[in-house]
With several copies, the nearest count.
Chain A
Amino acid sequence: MKVLYFAWLRQRIGVANEEFDLPGDVDTVDDLVTWLIAKGPGYAKGFAEPQVIRAAVNFEYVPFDHRLSNTDEVAFFPPVTGG
């Protein structure tokens, strides 16, 4: 799967995007966040307030209980400020 990070989440994590196989114990977006937080302090800092982070899978906003597959493109980002 491909995972992308934007804005201050990208800065805190230190990478813009990364690709890896969906870990066996990760079913949902929520599981993925928990798994990422365990990867290192940048992730822990980025996801310290997970309630402000929004997720998109394959370009659509999803709730955190959305189930993932290994071919998904997953994006995490802070609230948007367009216009």
Chain B
Amino acid sequence: MIKVQQENFDVSAELAALTSGNHAIGGIASYVGLVRDLVGADSPDDALRAMTLEHYPGMTEKKLAAIETEAQSRWPLEASLIVHRYGRLEPGEQIVLVACASAHRQAALDACNFLMDWLKTEAPFWKLEETGAGEAWVDSRASDDAAAARWKVKTDRAAE
């Protein structure tokens, strides 16, 4: 299931809905991404006040559904969920939830890892950071691209 929303989410409620009544599920691996504020440690002006997530409505849902299908084809999942928020979020707030339920522990954990790597590099979201020094768009990280490349997902992205 895919949810792209402004509202916050409750992890317990999402996991309960995902597994409800399915006793073939041995476990649920999940990852919750939070708005982090590391930059403010040294200089108060650098402290993150908020982050605004912009996305491409329509394409986001389509791409998230496609990668969820890909994960389900790679691992024996009983259920899966991606919740991704957009809009303005403050430090400590939840951004994203990925949850994968399976009879098999390692399948659940690997699928969760796969989906997070993909989200970082392929999901059409952009982050605008607000600090005391002003606003700045977050650059994509080479380490995220390398992590996603581990899985050899076929994409038709532009040659870069």
Contacts and interface: CB of A to CB of B under 8 A. Distances in A.
Interface of A: 4, 6-8, 51-52, 54-56, 59-64, 75, 77-83
Nearest to A53: B158
Query: Which 5 A-B residue pairings sit nearest by Cβ, starting from the closest?
Result: A82-B123, A82-B125, A79-B140, A7-B126, A59-B59
B23 interface: no
Interface in B66-92: 84
Contacts of A80: 121-126, 140
Interface in B103-160: 105, 116, 119-128, 137-141, 144, 155-160
Q: Secondary structure at chain B's binding surface: helix, strand, loop or mixed?
A: mixed
30 contacts: A4-B56, A6-B124, A7-B54, A7-B137, A8-B137, A56-B56, A59-B62, A60-B156, A61-B122, A61-B158, A62-B158, A63-B156, A63-B158, A64-B159, A75-B56, A80-B122, A80-B123, A80-B126, A80-B140, A81-B138, A81-B139, A82-B120, A82-B122, A82-B123, A83-B33, A83-B84, A83-B95, A83-B116, A83-B123, A83-B125
A77 B126 contact: yes
Given A78-B137, A79-B140, 9 more contacts: A51-B160, A52-B160, A56-B59, A61-B158, A77-B56, A80-B125, A82-B121, A83-B116, A83-B119
Contacts of A64: 158-159
Helix, strand, loop or mixed for chain A's interface? mixed
A78 B63 CA distance: 17
A77 B158 contact: no
A4 B159 CA distance: 20
Interface residues of B, number: 35
B58 interface: yes
Contacts of B120: 81-83
B29 interface: no
B156 A61 contact: yes
A1 to B, nearest CB: 15
